[in-house]
Structure 1
Amino acid sequence: MTILAMHPTMTEQPVRGVVPSTYVRLLYEYLDMQGVAAAALLGVAAPEAADRGLLRYPVAAWRALLQRAAEHLHDPLLGLHLGQTITPAHFGVMGYVLLACPNLGAALARTLQYQRLLYDVNPMRTTMEGSDLLLEWGVDQGRPGPLVDECAISALMQLMHNATGRRIVATEICFVNPAPANLQPYRDWFACPVLFGQAVTSIRFPRALLALPLRQPDTVLLNVLEGQADALLAQLPPSDDFEQAVRRCIARLVREGQPELEMVANELHVSTRTLHRRLAASDINFRELRESIRQHLAEDYLADPRLQLTEIAQLLGYSEQSAFSRAFRRWSGQTPYDYRQRLLSSRKLECQ
C-alpha cells in the first residue's frame, strides 16, 4: 500500500523552501515511540538537539521522509498525529521566545517575525477581518502536500495550546489539499469546521484570543532571547520574501523615530522607487503598513503592565506620550490606558 492510496494528493509539482531540523528530530522521536528504528527507515542521521535549528532540510526531502514513515506505519494521518507531539522546547531559543511573550498576540507576532526559523516554506500572512484574525499560507512556493501541511498546522495549534495552558479552538481551518476519505479525525482534534480543496491554507479564530496571557511571560528574558533569535535569523541565507524584510526593518527602526520610506530603502539597499514599486505590486501602502506595525507593537507593549505608558511611547518612537495617545486612539478608538485596563480585566475574568 502506498501513501497515495491512503491519502489523495495534488499532482506532484516542484516545491521550494526548507524546514528546520526540529521537524526531523520530532519524526525520529515519534518513530522511536512507535518502536521503529528511525535511522534505518529514514536513511538519514538524527539531528542533534544542539544544532539550534540551523540545520535545515529542503521541504521536498521532508515530505519524502514523512511519506516513507506514513507508509511504514500505515498511517495516512501521520502529519496530524506528529504535529500534536511538538513542544516549545523542540525549537530551542525560538520556543523560549514564544513562551516569554506576555500574551498569545505577542507570540503570534514573533512567529511572524521569525517565521523563517520556524517554518521557511510558504510565508504566513495575517489579516484582521472584523472580530477575527486570519492566518494564511498561499502556494507561492508550491504545494508541500497533505502530510507536510497537516503537520505544520497541527504543530502551530499545539504550540498555542502549550503556551497558553488551555485548548485553543479555531473558528475554521482550511487546507489547499483534496479532502481525505474520512474527515472526522480532523474535526475531532481541531474541534472546528475543517475545509479542503481551498485556495489557501488558513486558520481563522476570534481576535479576542490574542489577549490570552501566556503561562511564563518575562519581558527581560524576552529581550535577551530575541537578540539570540535575531542572530540566528541573520545566519540564514537571503529570503525572497521582500514584504517580511520590510516589516522587520520598520519594526526595528520605529524605536528611533518615524521610519520614512527613504530610511527603509537605505536599510534594504534598494532605491525608494524600487521599494515603492515592490510594495505596490503586493497592494501595500507604506504609510498604512508602518501604522499597522506600530499598532501591533503598541498592543504587545500594553499587554505588559511593567511598562509605563511613557516608556511605550519611547519604544514606538514618539517624543511625547500625548502623541502616542492620539495615535492609539486613532487606531483603536480608545486611549492606551483604557485599552490596558480592559485587557487586564479580561485576564482577571479568565483566571476566575
Structure 2
Amino acid sequence: MDDTRVAASYVRLLFEHMAALGRADALGTPPAPTEPFVALRRWQSLLERARELDPGPRATFALRLARGIAPRHFGIVGFAALACGTLAEALQRLERHHRAVYDVNLAQVRPCAEGLCIEWGVERGRPGALVDETAIAALLQLTREFTGRPVRALAVDFVNPRPADVRPYEDFFGGTVRFGRPCTRVVLAARDLELPLRGADAALLALLDDQAERLLREVAAVSEPVGVWRQALVGLIRSGRTQLADLAQALQMSPRSLQRRLAQQGHSFQTLLGQTRQQLAEAWLRDASVELAEVALLLGYSEQSAFTRAFRQWTGQAPLQWRREHG
C-alpha cells in the first residue's frame, strides 16, 4: 500500500480533534496548504499516536473522531456534494471523486434491495481497523451533516476482526454491524436517499462560479454566442459533464445543431472546452488558497495527474511551476 494516500484536508480533521483536547502540537506540524495528499502510512501513524493521547476509551476513538467531520474535510468534493439536491446525488458525486479524498481501495456505489450499497474491496491491501473505522464513521457522519438528519445505516460490514464490544458501533451507525466480512460495506435505506441537502456551503461554489464567469468576461473579446457557450460550460465542467451532448442539453439544442454553430464561429467543441478549462485553471492557480487537487476537481478531472498532463499541453509547464511563476 506504499502508493496509497488520503487528502490533506481529511487529515486536518485529526489535528482539529487534538486541538480541541488541548493537544494542538502533539502530532507535530499539520499538512501544509500546498500539500494536497498525505501518504497512507503517515495517516496510520498519526491516527495511532492520536489514539494513544486521547483520554477517551481506546476502542471507540475512531467513532469520536468522526463526529467532527465537515464538508471542508473533503475539500472541494465535499462542498460540491453539499450543493447537490439530494443525498443520492451527493453520494454519486463522492463516488466519482472519492480518490481525491480517500485513495486507498476503490469504492463502488450500487442499488440494492434495501436502497443503496457502498462497498470497498481489499484489492490494494488492508489499511487496518483504525483507518477503516474512521473512514466509514466519517462517511455516515457526513451524510448527517449534509442532510441535518440522524441518518442511520441499515447495515455496516468491516473486514477487520470483531472487537470485544460491538454495542458502541451499533449505537453510532444505527444498524447491524458485522466484522470479519469479505469487504467493507455500508447499506443506506432508500427513503434516506431522497433527503434534501442543507446546501449551506453552496455559497462557496457560487463564489467560484462568479469568479469563473468574471474571468471569461475578461478574456479577449469573442462573439456573443461563444461567450454564452463558455459561460454555460463553467457549471458543466465543475460537475464533470464535459461532453458535447452535455453542453447541447444545457443550451437546449441538439448536438448536431451545436456542432454546426460552433463550426460557423470557427470553433470545435474540444477547442472550446480546452480554452475554457485553461482560462479557469490559470485563474484558480493564481489563488494560493485553492489546492492543486481542488483545481483539478473544479475542472472536472477525477485525478490530478490528468489535469497535470492537460495543463502541460496548454502551457508547456506543470501547474505547480506555473503557479510559482504567475501566482
Cα distance, 1:224 vs. partner?
A: 7.5
User: 1:208 deviation in Å?
Assistant: 3.2
Q: Is 2:100 aligned against 1:117?
A: yes
Query: Kindly tell me: are residues 316 and 173 of structure 1, through their superposed partners in 2, closer, same or farther at Cα, counting changes over 3 Å?
Result: farther
Q: Match for residue 63 of structure 2?
A: 80
Q: Deviations over 1:110-135 (max 9, x none)?
A: 10111122211111101212342110
- Could you tell me whether the CA contact under 8 Å between 1:172 and 1:203 is conserved in 2? yes
Q: Which amino acid aligns with 1:176?
A: V
Instruction: Give the aligned partner of residue 256 of structure 1.
Output: 244
1:195: Cα distance to partner? 0.5
Q: 1:105 to 1:313 in 2, by over 3 A?
A: farther
Aligned counterpart, 1:30: 17
Q: Give the letter for the 2:11 counterpart.
A: V
1:156 and 2:139 correspond: yes
AA aligned to 2:46 is L
Distance (whole Å) between structure 1 residues aligned to residue 114 and residue 162 of structure 2: 28
Unpaired segments ≥5 residues, structure 2: 212-236, 258-327
CA–CA distance in structure 1, aligned partners of residues 140 and 254 of structure 2: 30
Alignment match, 1:207: 190
Please report how far the alpha carbon of residue 93 of structure 1 lies from its aligned counterpart in structure 2 after TM superposition: 2.5
Tell me the percent identity: 38
CA contact (8 A) 1:77 1:147 kept: no
SS at 2:100's partner residue? helix
The structure 2 residue matched to 1:70, chosen from 25, 35, 51, is 51
In structure 1, C-alpha distance between the alignment counterparts of 2:9 and 2:119, rounded to whole Å:
22
Kindly indicate whether the alpha-carbon contact (under 8 Å) linking 1:104 and 1:212 is maintained by their aligned counterparts in 2.
yes
Deviation, 1:313, is 9.9
Q: 1:216 and 1:107, CA in 2 relative to 1: closer, same or farther beyond 3 A?
A: same
Partner secondary structure for residue 76 of structure 1: helix
Task: Report the alpha carbon displacement of residue 256 of structure 1 after superposing the two structures with TM.
Answer: 1.9
For structure 1, the 5+ residue unaligned runs are 1-13, 229-247, 259-309, 320-352
Residues 215-238 of structure 1, C-alpha deviations (whole Å, 9 max, x = no match): 12898975876999xxxxxxxxxx
Quick check: 1:80–1:147 contact (8 Å CA) kept in 2? Answer: no
Letter of the structure 2 residue corresponding to residue 95 of structure 1: G
TM-score normalised by structure 1 residue count: 0.57
Q: Tell me, what secondary structure is at the counterpart of 2:58?
A: coil
Q: Does 1:47 align with 2:31?
A: yes
Matched ranges for 1:1-352 at <5 A: 14=1, 16-36=3-23, 38-39=24-25, 41-42=26-27, 44-48=28-32, 50-51=33-34, 54-73=35-54, 75-216=58-199, 252=241, 255-257=243-245, 311=249
Q: 1:252 to 1:116 in 2, by over 3 A?
A: same
Aligned AA for 1:60? R
> In the aligned structure 2, how far is the partner of 1:197 from the partner of 1:315?
53
Normalising by structure 2, we get a TM-score of 0.61
Aligned match of 2:321:
none
Query: CA separation in 2, counterparts of 1:183 and 1:99?
Result: 31
- When residues 227 and 105 of structure 1 are mapped into structure 2, their CA distance, relative to the original with a 3 A threshold, is farther
Q: Secondary structure at the match of 2:16?
A: helix
Alignment partner of 2:196: what SS? coil
CA contact (8 A) 1:97 1:226 kept: no
Give me the whole-angstrom Cα distance separating, in 1, the residues matched to 2:61 and 2:45. 13
Aligned partners of 1:115, 1:136: CA distance in 2, in Å? 12
Three-state SS of the structure 2 residue aligned to 1:126 is strand
In structure 1, C-alpha distance between the alignment counterparts of 2:210 and 2:139, rounded to whole Å: 23
Compute the displacement of 1:100 (Å). 1.0
Q: Secondary structure at the match of 2:185?
A: strand
Aligned to 2:223: none
Instruction: Kindly state the Cα deviation for residue 67 of structure 1 after the two structures are TM-superposed.
Output: 1.0
Q: Which AA in structure 1 matches 2:16?
A: E
Cα gap change, 1:317 to 1:136, in 2 (>3 Å): farther
1:84-126 residue CA offsets vs partner (Å, 9 max, x unmatched) = 1111133342222122111111111110111122211111101
